[in-house]
Every structure is written in structure tokens, then in C-alpha cells.
Amino acid sequence: IAKNAHQPEFLQAVEEIFISLVPVFEQHPEYIQHNILSRIVEPDRIVSFRVSWQDDQNQVQVNRGYRVQFNNVVGPYKGGLRFHPSVNESIMKFLAFEQIFKNALTGLPIGGAKGGSDFNPKGKSNGEIMRFCQAYMTELYRHIGPDVDVPAGDIGVGAREIGFLFGQYKRIRNAHEAGVLTGKTPGYGGSLVRKEATGYGLVYFVEEMLRDISETFLNKTVVVSGSGNVAIYAIKKAQELGAKVVACSDSDGYIFDPDGIDLNIVKEIKEVNCERIKTYVNYRPNAIYTEDFRGIWSIPCDIALPCATQNEIDGDAARTLSANGVKVVAEGANMPSNLEAINVFLENGILFGPAKAANAGGVATSALEMAQNSGRNYWTFEEVDEKLRDIMKSIYAVSKEAAHKYGSEGNLVVGSNIAGFVKVADGMIAEGVY
């Protein structure tokens, strides 16, 4: 703790996992003997570098780039890139640490990593985004490769950025190594369903949670925070399954639409016009916009899907959701609920799907993209979607089983942490000390 005292997000992620592992250590003294805990919290390496690029006024700008390669016991390092001004080493480490266990849970051969930059894409021209991506890859390329480390998108990094990054990697390496990045568009090696995967996967996971209480999405009221990649496709799938999604947000505020969110309008605002979510009310007079994105959790709902960013639900927001009768909370974003909020959900009998399990559909489909790239072929939308659904079912089953085995029936936080950890820890022992 002392070594990482200045990294609160990383410590929060470690604490959440370590608390879950107490019963595992009681039953498996070999993990203590091999000093797994001290080894697993130390990344294999952290690369931090200068990214210099020229803006449209020909001024030279400087940002800091990162890649945290945390653990490659199960497979090549794998994890997204985040471009956002809040990016720092603590956030990179928390995300990479979580990614180790999430990736292990998918059952696919991928290790854990994360990267990004404190670059702010907001308000930048297409040319500026391209020059930044090229400058970022000019350093990153030497640390990655289809069998080494395979980055993907995250906040601020979508298909456009992946395209610019891939183009620069290809030019430097003079090789079309499609498997070096995932989240590509299908025209040059991307997988169908990758764009939809995290949102769809989240909803498939919640379907499994609901099945256990003999419920479905039909006629449920749903609140989804965010209006980015994860949020949009979670809304789409929930609506397809008969739910009424009444709210979504961006980092400025949230919209409430009593008639149900019109997703085509949200997509036009965010994906075509690149505008703020408040403009939604210009299209739908019944909708209400409220400044302050955290207020979204005061809207009564059956199912809450936080899909924006870390720590967006604190204890108070969780108590409000609980008082308003929420039945299920499942995390599309990474660590959107703080520890106090998670405890409120668990103590009040609310079904809680933690990020590690519930949002693993994105990285799982990235691994399917890698498989297609290695085989030099493409699978149909239906094929990938079916595989995604099966993977989410399996993650749910494995997490539930681990919770049961270690005496925390129904607690998916404990279950997913343990299931992911045991796989990685066993691999670390098998591969020897390093």
C-alpha cells in the first residue's frame, strides 16, 4: 500500500479483489507459499513516453503516453487504449489490473494490459486526431505485436483512432499484421459485432442474472449512463428485448425521456453530429435535460446499467437506487461503483453484476477478432453474436459457481474475482518464478 499510496484508483481495484480472496487463501496455502499476491500486483512493465504532435496552427503539443503490460500468464497482453485528460498512471494500472482477471474469465487466451494518454480528443480536428495517433504509435509500435500485446479501443478511442493507429503501425513495420490491434473496421480485419460487443454482452449477462429470478427484460424500466460505445449498444439490445430505457447521459448531464429513449436520435447526436446529449431535447419535447450527470441515478428504475466511467455511483447514489426499488445493477463501465456502493447493493439484496464479468463481452469479441485474423478469415455477424452470448453465459456460470464453492452464494463480485484469480495464479505457479 505504501508503495502505491499516490495511486487511489489502483489501490481501490486491488482492495476489491483482495477482500474477495480471503477464503481462497484459506483453502490454497500454495498461493501464499508462492507469494502470489505480492507478485500479481506488480506489473510486468510500465512504459511511459512523450507524444509530440503538431496541431492545426502548427504548434507543437506534448502529451504523455502509457502502456501498462500487467500480466501475460494466460496469453498475450490485451487491453484497450484510453485517450482522456484524466489519464494517469493510477488509472492505467487499475484498468490493466482489472483486465487480467476479466480476460481470464472469458476463457480465452489473453493476458492483461491497458494504455492510453492524457490527450483530450474533444474539439480536435480529424487531422489533429490522426497526427496524434501517428505520434503515439511511433513509440508504441516497439512494445506490441500480434503475439506480444494487442491494444484495442476504450474511452476516446473508437474505430477511427484504431484505423489511424493501425495505419502507422503498418507503415513502420511494413507488414499487414492485422492481429496487432482489435476494434478495426471489418474492411481491413475487424470482426463483426466488435462495435456492439460490450453493450450487447452486458445485456446478455443481465439476461442470465434475471433468468435466475425467473424474470426477463420485457417491460422493465432501464437507466443507462453514458452515451458512448458501450451505452449505445446496451440501450439497443435492452430495447430489442422489450425493455423501456428512459435515460442516458454524458459528462455534462443526463436526459430523461418518459416515452423511452429514441436511440436513432442519440446516435445522430453522438456519432454523426458529435454534439452534447442535451441537444436531445431539441428533437423530443417531452424529454428533460438536467445538468450534473450523477443525478441520473435518482430516476426510479428496475435495472441500472452504468456505462460511462469509474466511480460514477457512490454510496448515496446506490442508496437512492435501492430506495427507488432497483432490482439489478450491472456494470458496463470499468469500476463505475465505488466500494461503498457495491456494499449497499449487496446488503440490500440487489443483484449486482461487476464489471469484470458483466462488461467482458468487448474483450472477448476482441479475442474472437484475433482468432479470425490468425485464421485469415471472417465469421458472420450471427456466428460472432452466438459465440459472444455463449461466452457471457459461461462467465456468469463460472462466477456463480466460484461464489458457491467459496461460501458466498449469489455474490458475483466474489465469484468473478475468485474465478479469474485462480486461473491466473495457477498459471503463475505452473510457469515458474519470474
Q: Could you give phi then psi for residue 189, rounded to 5 degrees? A: 115, 0
Least distance from ligand NDP to the Cβ atom of residue 396, Å? 16
Residue 169 near ligand NDP by CB under 6 A = no
Among residues 232, 312, 222, 225, which one has the least CA distance to residue 269? Answer: 232
Q: Would you say 20 or 249 has its CB closer to ligand NDP?
A: 249
Residue 251 near ligand NDP by CB under 6 A = yes
Least distance from ligand NDP to the Cβ atom of residue 308, Å? 3
Q: Would you say 56 or 252 has its CB closer to ligand NDP?
A: 252
Angle of helix 412-431 relative to helix 8-20, nearest 10 degrees?
90
User: Cα–Cα distance between 93 and 101 in angstroms, integer?
Assistant: 13
Residue 227 near ligand NDP by CB under 6 A = yes
User: Cα–Cα distance between 318 and 236 in angstroms, integer?
Assistant: 25
Residue 153 near ligand NDP by CB under 6 A = yes
Residue 99 near ligand NDP by CB under 6 A = no
Is residue 122 part of the annotated active site? The answer reads no
Span near ligand NDP by CB under 6 A; candidates 12-20, 28-36, 281-289, 328-336: 328-336
Enumerate the β-bridge partners of residue 141.
Answer: none
User: Cα–Cα distance between 291 and 164 in angstroms, integer?
Assistant: 34
Residue 372 near ligand NDP by CB under 6 A = no
78 annotated binding-site participant: yes
User: Per-residue x/- marks for ligand NDP, 298-327, CB under 6 A?
Assistant: ---------xxx------------------
Element holding 231 (H helix, E strand): helix 229-240
99 annotated binding-site participant: yes
From the number of C-beta atoms within 10 Å of its C-beta (0-12, 13-18, 19+), residue 202 rates as buried
User: Cα–Cα distance between 230 and 212 in angstroms, integer?
Assistant: 24
153 annotated binding-site participant: yes
Least distance from ligand NDP to the Cβ atom of residue 32, Å? 32
198 annotated binding-site participant: yes
- Out of 72, 359, 372, 411, the only residue in the binding site for ligand NDP (CB under 6 A) is 359
Residue nearest to ligand NDP (CB): 228
Cα Rg of the chain, angstroms? 21
CA-to-CA dists, residue 222 to 271, 302, 329, angstroms: 22, 6, 10
Among residues 117, 112, 77, 116, which one has the least CA distance to residue 97? Answer: 112
- Out of 9, 128, 149, 154, the only residue in the binding site for ligand NDP (CB under 6 A) is 154
Residue 385 near ligand NDP by CB under 6 A = no
Q: Report how many residues bind ligand NDP under the rule CB under 6 A.
A: 23
User: Per-residue x/- marks for ligand NDP, 397-426, CB under 6 A?
Assistant: ------------------------------
Cβ atoms within 10 A of the Cβ of 427, count?
16
DSSP secondary structure string for all residues of 277-294: GGGHHHH-TT-EEEE-GG
| Active site members | 114
Binding-site positions read: 78, 99, 102, 153, 198, 229, 366
Footprint of ligand NDP on this chain (CB under 6 A)?
Answer: 153-156, 198, 226-231, 250-252, 293, 307-309, 332-334, 359, 362
